[in-house]
Amino acid sequence: MRHYSAKLSRRRTKYQQKILQRETIDEMIYNTKKMRDRLILERQARCGLRIGELLRMKVSDISDRAITLQEPKSGKESEMAYMPENVSRKLAEYVKDKALHGEDRISPICYSTARSLIRGLGARLNIHVSPHDLRRYSATYASRNGNPLEVESKVILRHQDLKTTQVYLGKISETEAIR
């Protein structure tokens, strides 16, 4: 058990240092050809969704800018997540264009397909990126734009403990500190 804890600790340290820049995320998103794929990236990077939550999302789970997450990781029956207006608008257009209704999944792909998609888009920019890196980016970006840690933790990432959220936040560079 001790070996596992040390391994997990090293893994967290490694990821804590790997924070993607806004320009990189934006380039990944804007270079994506399919709207389905673009919306996957935007919902993760702009809304802080876990990839599993995103892939299970149905049309009936969306109400304007709010998303009801069914069976979230917390074990609760449901939780709420929120989208920026521009993401909400694109998602509504996509649902309409694809004639999706009620119980239809918005992104009917499996985890391995989503992971390959995100890794492939990162590879085009010569970076290693995973779905969870996009969620981590969402938290770091919110933090660096002045959102209080409590808002990030409870609203954006929906963590039970603030310490978990702190692990997500990367070290702030000298340039960012001056800004």
d(CA 19, CA 150) in angstroms, rounded, equals: 20
SS3 126: coil
Sign of CA dihedral 125, 131, 132, 136: positive
pLDDT of 154: 59
Give pLDDT tens digits for 66-81: 999 998 887 788 889 8
- Sequence-ordered list of residues with C-beta below 8 angstroms from that of 174, at least 6 positions apart, any chain: none
Give pLDDT tens digits for 88-144: 999 999 999 999 999 999 999 999 999 999 999 999 999 999 998 988 887 777 677
Give pLDDT tens digits for 153-162: 555 676 677 6
Identify the band that residue 4 occupies on the pLDDT scale cut at 50, 70 and 90. Answer: very low
Identify the band that residue 168 occupies on the pLDDT scale cut at 50, 70 and 90. Answer: low
Q: At what angle do helices 2-17 and 131-144 cross, to 10 degrees?
A: 60
Tell which wins on pLDDT, 29 or 156: 29
- Sequence-ordered list of residues with C-beta below 8 angstroms from that of 89, at least 6 positions apart, any chain: none
Domains in the chain, ordered, with CATH?
Answer: 18-178 (1.10.443.10)
Distances (CA, A) of 178 to 54, 85, 102: 35, 30, 48
